[in-house]
Amino acid sequence: MSQQRPPVLGPVVDDETRCIHWSSPLDVVAMRFACCRAYYPCDACHEQAADHLIATWPADARDEIGAMCGVCGHELTIAEYGLAAACPACSAPFNPGCALHWPRYFDGPPPAA
């Protein structure tokens, strides 16, 4: 990839955005937070490293960039991320359990397939 990736903040443990909280082979998504527009591997990393409270993305912000594939650096809109089981650019699979954490990052329900 020729384009430089945005930095991922917090206690990241590898170059695919795994962290001290989530480190399975499928934990390769960094979340972009509405409050600071910065990437962190997870909400716990944001809570640990940021100097402010988390703000979730409003339901009408589905066209905003809200996640990044840790494998290839592809940035996904919130709508794309909500529908993705894998990265649309490199096909790296995402952890299906992350869907349970949708309300930690985004208001409203995830997009319907």
- Cα torsion angle, 110, 47, 64, 38, sign: negative
Please indicate whether residue 34 or residue 4 has the higher confidence score (pLDDT): 34
Q: Quick check: helix, strand or coil at residue 96?
A: helix
Q: Which token pair is 57?
A: 């993305």
Band of pLDDT at residue 1, cut at 50, 70 and 90? very low
Section 49-74 average pLDDT: 97
CB hemisphere CA count around 3 (13 angstroms)? 6
pLDDT score, position 2: 45
Q: Read off the pTM.
A: 0.94
Which of 50, 59, 49 minimizes the C-alpha distance to 102? 59
Domain spans of the chain, in order of start = 29-105
Distance CA 82, CA 66 (A): 10
Q: What is the DSSP letter of 10?
A: S
**pLDDT tens profile 79-111:** 999 999 999 999 999 999 998 999 999 999 988
